[in-house]
Structure 1
Amino acid sequence: MLSNMVRGMVFLASVTALAGCVDHANGPMLTPVNTLDPPLNPPGIAHNICVADGNVMYNEARKQYEARAQMSRYAIDPANEEAQARAAARRQYVTCISSQGYRAVYDQ
């Protein structure tokens, strides 16, 4: 019983140590919009929720671009498709993060 407990503690310690290795260099800094009414979720959770929404929007925008190209019988321009999908994902992320009560500040 004690060995299972020790194994669990070692596992949690290693997961905690490896979590610090994740690179967030290009991620936005999330600042609360209103200090009197704090956001519901912490910044890390809100960021993960909104990144997932952005990824879904990215895939959906690519599908819609391909459907429009197929309906109009034009060739698919990969650069234009990528630009439109990235723009849609960014709009979705910004919309989601602002609905969470944050403003995304990018270090440029």
Structure 2
Amino acid sequence: MVVGIFRALGVAAMMMALAGCIDRANEPVLLAIGVPVNPPGVAHSICMTDGNAMYGEAKRQYEVRAQLTGYAQADALEAETIARAAAHRQYVACISAQGYRTLYAN
């Protein structure tokens, strides 16, 4: 029984130590505007998923456009720039629909 308690305390201590390793340096601060629909963590997760989906879709559409216009190979840097911009626009639109405004620390 004592061994089980120490084992549980060890697991809890390891989980707490590893929780401090999560990098949140590039996450924006969410300022509530009015009455938010969801808590900030939930809204961020939902909108990050939307932004990631938009990123993939924008890259796919760029490649399709490059094929339709006859370019043999799409420009990777331009595709990345367009996809990142589309993902950011989607994130900002989603987060504002959730009742927040983003504040980025530069």
TM-score normalised by structure 1 residue count? 0.82
CA distance in 2, matches of 1:13, 1:40: 34
Q: Which runs of 4+ in 1 moved over 4 A?
A: 5-10
* CA spacing shift, 1:50–1:71, aligned 2, 3 Å: same
Shift of the alpha carbon at 1:15?
2.8
What is the TM-score normalised by the length of structure 2?
Answer: 0.84
Structure 1, gaps ≥5 residues long = none
CA-atom RMSD, angstroms?
1.9
Corresponding residue number in structure 2 for 1:85:
83
Q: Which amino acid is 1:101 matched to?
A: G
SS in 1 for 2:37: coil
Unaligned runs of 5+ in 2: none
Relative distance call for 1:71 and 1:8 in structure 2 (3 A) is farther
The secondary structure found in structure 2 opposite 1:73 is: coil
* Shift in CA distance, 88/22, structure 1 to aligned 2, threshold 3 Å: same
Give the Cα separation in 1 of the matches to 2:12 and 2:93: 35
Matched, 1:101 2:82: no
- AA of the residue aligned to 1:30: L
Distance 1:71 1:17 in 2: 52
Q: Identify the residue that residue 52 of structure 1 maps to in structure 2.
A: 49
Amino acid at match of 2:93: T
What is the total number of aligned residue pairs between the two structures?
A: 104
Q: Percent identity?
A: 53
Counterpart of 1:96 in structure 2: which amino acid? C
